[in-house]
């Protein structure tokens, strides 16, 4: 199932890999930035990869923070889909890439890890020197009082509030909805969204939506780590999201080398000291 979401790529060129390994090896304070591509081998699709990305394969569009806050229909669409996809997301396990970086950390092979992912798989693999730039989808936070509960606890509340909803879309014997399945238009009507247990406010997964401000403390940490590092390695990100791109651009403006591993083009290709268009696990196994 995991391979379903991994983009097609060419075979490794050993000479290119040796050169890449040698160049990255000269950086003693390496900053690593990971994106959705590092988790595709765990069965979680990325967003923009040709033929397999969530936005390229379906009619799904990102939900913007402003729409989430002002539109009940938008919140119903967000939470109904999250409710149906949660079992698959919750069961996702770290893959070789996550464990490899955890081992790199233990061996002091890099300075800091910044992930744009919200799946929590780096933490599950044991990473500690990490900033989850866009939050963590394994918890839910009130948009008013910031009360926090686990995503699984909130799933139980969603399940209680919406008896029979899942059965409309998930056939008997099927555990959950495929990650790239779009719900029929209007199917979210009537979906009930539990309020905050503390103040009755709106609950949102503790992740940064499009159009939402990033956590200022995390921005400061990332800026500090860029200044401290002397090279950047990006893994599995197109850097289309501005926050990730700005980190790389910040390092580039300081004349620090940029190394990229990603299947397909990225926003920072012109900045790259060297880039490999290969599967991340194939590269990390050789490094």
Rounded to whole angstroms, what are the CA distances from 72 to 53, 142, 189, 227? 27, 15, 10, 42
Catalytic residue annotation: 134
* Mean pLDDT calculated for residue range 267-284: 96
* Mean pLDDT calculated for residue range 115-140: 97
9 is in an annotated binding site: no
pLDDT of residue 273 exceeding 90, the answer is: yes
Q: If you classify domain 57-91+135-207 with CATH, what class do you get?
A: alpha beta
pLDDT at 149: 98
Residue-wise pLDDT tens digits, 185-241: 777 788 999 999 999 999 999 999 999 999 999 999 999 999 999 999 999 999 999
Domain map (residue ranges) of the chain: 1-44+94-134+213-287, 57-91+135-207
CATH of 1-44+94-134+213-287, one of 3.40.50.1220, 2.60.40.650, 3.40.50.720, 3.40.50.300: 3.40.50.1220
235 bridge partner residues: 34, 261
32 is in an annotated binding site: no
160 is in an annotated binding site: no
pLDDT at 13: 81
- Check: pTM over 0.85? Answer yes or no: yes
45 is in an annotated binding site: yes
Query: 179, 39, 47: which is closest to 96 by C-alpha?
Result: 39
pLDDT at 46: 57
pLDDT of residue 146 exceeding 60, the answer is: yes
Do 1-44+94-134+213-287 and 57-91+135-207 show the same overall fold? no
Angular region, 122: left φ>0, alpha ψ -120 to 50, beta rest: alpha
């Amino acid at each position: 199932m995991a391979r379903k979401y991994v983009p097609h790529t060419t075979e490794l060129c050993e000479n290119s890999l040796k050169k890449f390994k040698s160049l990255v090896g000269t950086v003693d304070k390496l900053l690593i930035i990971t994106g959705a591509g590092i988790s595709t081998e765990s069965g979680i699709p990325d967003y923009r990869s040709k033929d397999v990305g969530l936005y390229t394969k379906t009619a799904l569009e990102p939900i913007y923070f402003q729409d989430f806050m002002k539109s009940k229909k938008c919140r119903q669409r967000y939470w109904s889909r999250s409710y149906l996809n949660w079992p698959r997301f919750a069961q996702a396990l770290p893959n070789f890439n996550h464990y490899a970086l955890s081992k790199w950390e233990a061996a002091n092979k890099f300075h800091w890890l910044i992930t744009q992912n919200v799946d929590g798989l780096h933490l599950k693999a044991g990473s500690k020197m990490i900033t989850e730039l866009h939050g963590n989808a394994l918890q839910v936070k009130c948009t008013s009082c910031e009360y926090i509960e686990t995503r699984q606890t909130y799933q139980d509340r969603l399940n209680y509030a919406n008896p029979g909803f899942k059965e409309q879309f998930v056939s008997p014997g099927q555990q959950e909805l495929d990650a790239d399945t779009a719900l029929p238009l209007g199917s979210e009507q009537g979906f009930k969204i539990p309020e905050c247990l503390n103040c009755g406010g709106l609950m949102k997964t503790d992740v940064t939506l499009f159009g939402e401000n990033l956590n200022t403390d995390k921005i400061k940490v990332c800026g500090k780590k860029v200044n401290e590092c002397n090279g950047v390695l990006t893994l599995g990100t197109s850097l289309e999201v501005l926050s990730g791109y700005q980190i790389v651009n910040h390092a580039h403006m300081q004349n620090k080398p940029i190394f990229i591993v990603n299947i397909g083009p990225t926003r920072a290709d012109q900045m790259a000291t060297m880039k490999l268009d290969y599967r991340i696990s194939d590269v990390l196994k050789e490094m």
